[in-house]
Structure 1
Amino acid sequence: MIKHFFTNIFRNIRHNVVFTVINFTNLIIGFTVFVLFSVVIGFEINFDKFNTNYNQIYRVQTKQEDSYPINYCAYSPPAYRFHLMADLPEVEKVLLMREVSGGAKGSGQFFTLPDGGQLYEQNGYWSENSIFDIFTVQLIEGDKTSALTEPNTIALSETVANKLFSDGNAVGKQVIIGKRFPLTVSAVYIDFPKNSTLQPTYMVSMATYQGLSGETKFREDWTSISFDNYVLLKKGADPKLVDAKIKDAFKYVKNFEKSSPYLHPLSKLHLSPNSQPDMMIGLGILSLAAILVLILTCVNYVNLSLANSTQRSTEIGIKKVIGSSKKLIATQFLAETVIHSIFATIIALFIARASFPLLNHLLNKNIEYSLWDNTQLLFFIFLVSLLVGVLSGLYPSMVISAYSPVKVLKGKIFSNGEKSINIKKILVATQFSISLFMLIVSFILFNHVNFILKKDLGFDSKNILYTEINPRDNISFETVKTSILQHPEIADISFSSTIPFVGNIGGFVSWEGASIDEKEMVSRNYVNYDFIPTYNIKMAYGRNFSKEYPADDKACIINETAMKVFGWKDPIGKHITLSGRSYPVIGVVKDFHPYSVHNPIPTYVMFLNSNLISGSTLLSVRFNGDEQKAKTLVTGELENIFPNAPFEFKDFSVAFHLDEAIAFWQTMKRMFVFFSAITLLISTIGLFGLILFTIKRRTKEIGVRKVLGSSVGSVYWQLSTEVIGMLGFAILVGCPAAIYIYKTMPGAYKEPLSVTEFVIAIVLVAIIAFATISYHVLKLAVSNPVEALRYE
């Protein structure tokens, strides 16, 4: 029985090579896409699950209700660690961390190599030793119990240790950071997995930070919301109870009364780090697209199987005549479908594995994933394969097994009404709707990404170089400026605490005309006289900071958004208050984007820096002509001025393109272009099956029409009317669905919808549809009508 069953399968494959290739191609495409995105979604939702204590780890974040909209800040002050979390009975372990540069300008540092060269490494942290108790970190060298307990010690990732000490045995050796901080290597750990929220390439002991900042000031700091506080709750502890206990922590902290800490679980740190749904929305859209591709695959299989049933009519009729039951025939066809599905899945697994480089390019990620070692994922994929096989084969097996043996043997299997063909039309119309929807959304995303890339930022972002520098000694900015501007290739230079897209300093202010308790979270920047001209930011009212006005060091400049928020119509001379100090407004700049173009322009305030470069500072240079020449010139001058301060100039475009929102939407654009191509291909296969089915059903009718003098054009029209109806249905369904996606897309600024996007998508789908029809019509045009009349 089983031998006969498999013999039938291979015989049918041999006799119907074209249908087999088309159907297998359809299944393989669908399953390859499904496997790839099962891997992607599995990678994303399994972030941090390698940690043994995954379900007990929380980050203590800060909700700032004074801000509009409410800001769910991922960071928190160090006082949480010492006065809030350590003594709670629900807490087993606490961990305080901070990015090495404080988070405002990145966490990169220069390591001095043995040959005197410099190695720049990002993602460095100050950290307590409890990181080894809370997170699952594997040490290659060193002792977990004491690796980060002593001052002036550092733990290196395996990658960084190999760069610094190629001969191994790093523990006990010394490294120098920033050309002036000698640290002793206390441990080497295996690099954190790619799907880890934390990715420290090196960790300096928090005791080192405490020694630099001062013990008392550090422990009592409630206002420096720039640290990471992690806690490991005891098993069975209720995080909501902890939230209730800590929510009033800022009650008596001046200017922070409306802030409150809350626990954010490790399970949400990757997908929703700031309690924002963007990542979840993106994954949801990708999941929907993958499911739609799988649905299209099932629909195609149904259509192609029914179209192919004409080739097997004799087999079906004979089996029925000799006594095969409807159930047995249905089981055979259903089993064939399941086997096809499983074989297609196996092939798809190998294709998907080979396609990982393309997938990583589309997603702009570096996913390292072993399909063969992940038994849960493999089980899930084959379970879906089995389900798809059953769903795809169920309807064709029921229809085919129900054919009358007399009609089948006489070749009249299509003479029993229009019900079957109508179902096929509905299925193909659904395919067109999905394809049109995906295509329109692709155009929308493509235009949206171009919109945010080309959006007016409110300042001139071209020909800007920037670097972070942290000199050991205070240097007059005039010394730097005179040295740099002697070169005609350099147009302007300035220094500031932050620059657009790099850094963020917040703070609560009150303003003239506000009620007693009314405060607003603002973004602030400390700039020099040259900052506004260097970035070519336009003044709306008043003036820039000027050396002609000595009192400007006690004044401020705001943006137009701040003026609106404060309710001022005549802002010049009005006052704002920050940390108890009043600052008169001397100017208002036109709104510009200091951060992501994905977010609304914030309330922004600039204060005047002293003329001394001290501590961590951002230098900005506007150049003329050749970028590389300008970079060489300014680098040479600064190396002479700051011989003990490492730095590296970068093009401003680097900072702009590192913006998470831009990266997110560029990934979404690439993914939808990919999905659109796949859905169009699958829909074309589906239409091919439908037209082939239609022609087989109407072969004799078409032959009669040709004998009676009907032209190829009239036959074409007969076939195309069905497709026109399906396209109409697709337009009615696909266009409103795409508009809904556009309206629900997150982001403060969007490219306005254009009719062009819809027209191009409809025309493209129509061209593909009519090109498919044309293939079959041309084939009919050259055929002999006598052959059609002998069809029975």
Structure 2
Amino acid sequence: MIANSVKTSLRALKRNWTYTIINVVGLTFGLACCLLLFLAIRYELSYDRHNANADQTYRMVGHYKKDADEGYNVGIPMPALAALRTDFPELKQYLTLTHEIFEPVIQARGSAVNKFKERIGLVAFVEPEYFNIFDYGWQRGNPKIALKNPNTVVLSEQMAQKYFGTADPIGKTLRVQNKMDFVVTGVVDNPPPTSSVPFEVMLSFASLKQFGAYTGWEDWEASFTGAQVHMTLPASSHDQTVAEAAMEARLAAFSKKYLAPQDAKYYKFELQPLAEVHFDAETPNYARRTMSKQTIWAMALIGLFILITACVNFINLATAQAIRRSKEVGVRKVLGSTRIQLVRQFLGETGVLTGIAVGLAFVVAYVALPSVAKLLNINADGLPLVDPVVIGFLLLLALLTTLLAGFYPSLVLSGYQPVLALKGKLRVEGSNYFTLRRSLIVGQFAISQMLIIGTIIAYSQVKHFRSADLGYNKEAILTVPIPEQKPGQLENLRAKLAGLPNVQSLSYAMSPPSANGNWQTSIRFENSDRYSDFSVVMRPADTAYVRTYGLKLIAGRLYLPADTMRELVVNESLVRKLGFRQPQQILGKMIELSAGQPKRPVVGVIKDFNTFSLHQKTAPSILSTSRSSYGTLSVKLITEQGGIEAVNRLIGSIEQAWEATFPDFVFKYEFLDDTINNFYKNEERTFALFRLLAGIAIFIGCLGLYGVVAFVAEARTKEVGIRKVLGASVLHIVGLFSLDFVKLVLIALLIASPVAWYVMTQWLKDIEYKTAIEWWVFILAGLLSIVIALLTVSFQSIKAALMNPVKSLRSE
């Protein structure tokens, strides 16, 4: 019986092959899109879930709030670790501080290729307690003692293979930053790609002081973004939120106990659930990747919308065939078929068609997966297609699609009266079919227009990021990290580079003007008895920094050359924070940067520049010399002469000079505009995703619209014939068809506009320097939709208008 039903269904689909192809294509793209979005959403929601105690594990963050100013700091002062263990002894084994090392050079002793420049988020100093909190599968070594002693290191499996090949890594030696050796004492499984704490080279925390990566061991005023505290609270027998609230109350008292009174008034330590770290775009994590839950649920909603659009497309095309299949239904009923049997038959046809579409969707998803993974910055290894959960989702999707797409058409077709069906007197003008059909068209275009509006706004924001005035010149600047230097190395490198052609200027500094990693501190102004209740961003830089980046000095002068901090230049934001109306008023005032340090005079004021990305407000900043803090070489290039070949030759010359100066390290460069563009990868991805999904929704919607026009053209055949007999022109009839759909598009625009405005306003709310949502965005979306609709309608409407009226009126 089932075989016969399938055979009958295939025969019917073959007989109406045009509609079958359109349906299969529409469903295939809709289902493939849903499957890929499901994989992406599953990937995002699985972050840090590989840790057994993920729901009990938290990251400690600093929360600053004063009036309208509010922010979070993930860097925790170094003395907090010992204080936490003293005040919370029950957490001693389940509390740890990790200290990241940015892009170190690691040398593998005894290996053929023994020098590697490692990426951010790979290397950190960790305590043995780290492995009580974060789950690693151990292949070699003992987690309790592997990092107990100084100068030890634990590697992931892939890093062990990278450094030592197939040799046994245990007992082998790594040299880090050409200054300290570490012996391998353990090998662990590779962390999953969905980890916000993805370290694979774990150095013993007991070596941190000797390594000299940080000096503020007793300073409660200073913090480093790469030094973060995590803890696992005991499991609550009732509600974990109760345990979390109790711990936060204790941390409030902890803040008051150890922070200076003026700091504790506005600053306190809080807990952030580990399971929420990946979804918090406001605070950085070690993986340097976040995805807001709003974006994830928006992806899910868009996937549902596209599935609905594909099903609506099917309904439109299926019911467009209703008149053609009316006699078939009449014959079946005369021969004894019940309505239930007919419903089963038509649902069977839908099921067969959906099954074909599901198979093709799987193939499309497989082919598109690498591109989608790259678009969303997802590790493709974390998106398995052949997986029980994925297969289950596909089966559920197929069942849901069959019911959504097939139920209504099966009811319509099976409900025909056999007498009217056999006489060919079925017509649907004025019936509820048109009402439902119009509603479906409006829904389809509303979805498409929401995506079009989202795409335009996302593009506008990305364009704003690219073109905004940052307060400095970012063009043609090459940035090169420099290691800790010996006396004379910076001067030797400067002398070598200054003589190169097409080098306009060069500068040493801690970082470019806009950076993610920042040195922030409180200050004491003049004779104040307390430090400021706001943080100031320090930008240690030499005297060529202002010229290299085109910063604008608006009052006073630049500081004089020196190896240490002697004079200060501040930005406009700090001038305003300290209550001055004119930049000149702060000149000559004294600022103390940390306890025990001498006060230094303010000798100049520069125009504000963006200290972070455009997501955040420009911060109060101080520039001053500090040779020991210089970590970046910036080279301003002259690119007008010689083109790309000349630039490549110049970069080669810079590399040679750099390697001659630092032979034990690895040369790496990046153009500043590329660095800045990386700040906005999330927005770039959102724009690309909107663009892709909008294109798919429009394509599927157009297929559905094609079906509607075919239905209307067939339903109004005699009306068109009468109009032509009475003198109507082809243009008039095409306009008659088109006008109806233009009205539907405008109704859809009225529905889509407020929804899209709200969603995109929420998306933009966390961006400090955002684009305005202009009225023309909605007009443009409406015009695009009208053009698309008219192009889709035109073929069928012209075909109907050109039909011979004699043929259409013959039966009358």
Counterpart Cα distance in 2 of 1:263 and 1:193: 24
Unaligned regions of 5+ residues in structure 2, if any?
285-289, 640-645
**C-alpha displacement at 1:337, in angstroms?**
3.1
- Could you give the per-residue CA deviations for residues 624-643 of structure 1, whole angstroms, max 9, x where no partner exists? 34433333333433444444
**Deviates further, 723-732 or 27-36:** 723-732
SS in 2 for 1:140: strand
Contact 1:473 1:614 in 2 (8 A): no
Match of 1:365 in 2: 378
> What displacement does 1:131 show?
2.7
Q: How does 1:267-278 map to 2 (within 5 A)?
A: 267-272=275-280, 274=282
Kept after mapping to 1: 8 A contact 2:32/2:362: yes
Bigger Cα displacement from structure 2, 443-452 vs 647-656: 647-656
Equivalent residue number for residue 695 of structure 2: 677
Cα distance per residue 1:354-410 (max 9 Å; x no partner): 210121232233232454553234323432432232233332233333322222222
Deviations 1:320-372 (A, max 9, x none): 33444434433443444345334423431232122101212322332324545
Residue 486 of structure 1 corresponds to: 499
Question: Per-residue deviation at 1:90?
Answer: 5.7
1:170-220 CA distance string (max 9 Å, x none): 111112222332221222222211111122231111111144459997488
Distance 1:7 1:604 in 2: 76
What residue is the counterpart of 1:417 in the other structure? 430
Give the Cα separation in 2 of the matches to 1:585 and 1:216: 25
User: Structure 2 CA distance, aligned partners of 1:18 and 1:270?
Assistant: 47
Change (3 A) 1:417 1:758: closer
Tell me, yes or no, if structure 1 residue 111 matches structure 2 residue 117.
Answer: no
Say whether residues 1:234 and 2:238 are aligned partners. Answer: no
Q: Which amino acid aligns with 1:678?
A: I
Question: For 2:807 and 2:138, how far apart are their aligned partners in 1?
Answer: 78
1:408 paired with 2:421, answer: yes
Alignment check: 8 A CA contact 1:47 1:267 kept: yes
Q: Cα 1:214–1:718, aligned 2, differ >3 Å: closer, same or farther?
A: closer
Q: How many aligned residue pairs are there?
A: 781
Counterpart of 1:345 (choices 322, 333, 358) is 358
The yes-or-no answer on 1:719 pairing with 2:737 is: yes
CA contact under 8 A between 2:738 and 2:793: conserved in structure 1?
A: yes
Q: Report the residue type matching 2:247 in the other structure.
A: V
Distance apart, 1:279 and its partner CA: 1.8
**1:773 paired to 2:793:** yes
Cα distance change, pair 608–726 in 1 and its aligned pair in 2 (3 A): same
Separation in structure 2 between the aligned mates of residue 445 and residue 192 of structure 1, nearest angstrom: 33
Name the residue aligned to 2:259: 253
1:791 to 1:287, Cα distance in 2 relative to 1, 3 A:
farther
Q: CA deviation at 1:16?
A: 0.9
Shift of 1:459: 0.9
Q: Which moved more, 1:74-83 or 1:712-721?
A: 74-83
1:476, distance to aligned residue in structure 2 (A): 7.3
Aligned 1:459-538 pairs, distance under 5 A: 459-471=472-484, 473-475=486-488, 478-502=491-515, 503-511=517-525, 519-538=533-552
Deviation, structure 1 residue 152: 0.9
Task: Give 1:787's aligned residue.
Answer: 807
Aligned partners of 1:602 and 1:111: how far apart in 2? Answer: 38
One-letter identity of the residue aligned with 2:47 = F
* Residue 441 (structure 1) aligned to one of 427, 450, 454: 454
| Conserved 8 A contact 1:465-1:620 | yes
Q: Is the 8 A contact 2:108 2:173 kept in 1?
A: no
Cα offsets for 1:629-670 (capped at 9, x unmatched): 3333334334444445555333223422332xx100100111
Matched, 1:288 2:301: yes
What pairs with 1:294-305 in structure 2 (closer than 5 Å)? 294-305=307-318
Matching residue of 2:127: 128
Residue pair 2:128, 2:145 contacting (<8 A) in 1 also: yes
SS in 2 for 1:606: strand
1:547-558 mapped onto 2 (5 Å cutoff): 547=561, 553-558=565-570
Is the alpha carbon distance of 1:375 and 1:698 closer, same or farther for their aligned partners in structure 2, counting shifts above 3 Å? Answer: same
Work out the CA distance in 2 between the residues paired with 1:350 and 1:116: 41
Alignment CA distance shift 1:516-1:78 (3 Å): closer
Distance 1:335 1:167, change over 3 A: closer
Helix, strand or coil at the partner of 1:524:
strand
SS at match of 1:262: strand
The one-letter amino acid paired with 1:313 is S
**Amino acid in structure 1 at the alignment position of 2:721:** G
SS of residue matched to 1:154: strand
**Cα distance between partner residues in 1 of 2:559 and 2:398:** 68
Contact 1:110 1:177 in 2 (8 A): yes
What's the counterpart of residue 761 of structure 1?
A: 781
Change (3 A) 1:10 1:264: same
Q: What's the secondary structure of 1:588's corresponding residue? A: strand
Which residue number corresponds to residue 565 of structure 1?
577
| Root-mean-square deviation (Å) | 3.0
Quote how far apart the aligned CAs of 1:671 are: 0.5
CA gap of 1:271–1:415, structure 2 versus 1, over 3 A, is: closer
Q: Say if 2:354 and 2:402, in contact at 8 Å, map to a contact too.
A: yes
Report matched runs for 1:3-22 at 5 Å: 3-22=3-22
Offset of 1:488 from its aligned partner? 4.2
Per-residue Cα deviation, 1:566-602 (whole angstroms, up to 9, x for no partner): 3211333344443355443322211111221222211
Which position in structure 1 is the counterpart of 2:287? none
CA distance in 2, matches of 1:76, 1:479: 37
Aligned identity (percent) is: 26
Aligned to 1:520, what secondary structure does the other structure show? coil
Question: 1:80-137: per-residue Cα shift (whole Å, max 9, x none)?
Answer: 3322146636637335343443xxxx34334357347631112211111233332221
> How far apart are residue 765 of structure 1 and its match?
2.1
Q: 1:280 deviation in Å?
A: 2.1
What CA distance in whole angstroms lies between the structure 2 residues aligned with 1:562 and 1:295? 53
CA distance in 1, matches of 2:276, 2:564: 45
Q: Is the 8 A contact 1:541 1:572 kept in 2?
A: no
Give the superposition deviation at 1:318. 2.3
Query: Which residue in 1 is equivalent to 2:186?
Result: 187
Letter in 1 for 2:252: K
On the 8 A contact 2:449/2:752 being kept in 1, the answer is yes
| Structure 1 contact 353–371 (Cα < 8 Å) conserved | no
Contact 2:127/2:147 (8 A) holds in 1: yes
Q: State the TM-score, normalizing by the size of structure 2.
A: 0.89
TM-score (norm 1): 0.91
Partner of 1:264: 272
Kindly indicate whether residue 708 of structure 2 is the aligned counterpart of residue 693 of structure 1. no
Q: Which one-letter code corresponds to 1:689 in the other structure? A: G
The structural deviation recorded for 1:537 is 0.4
Contact map agreement 2:151 2:183 (CA 8 A) in 1:
yes
Distance 2:573 2:629 in 1: 30
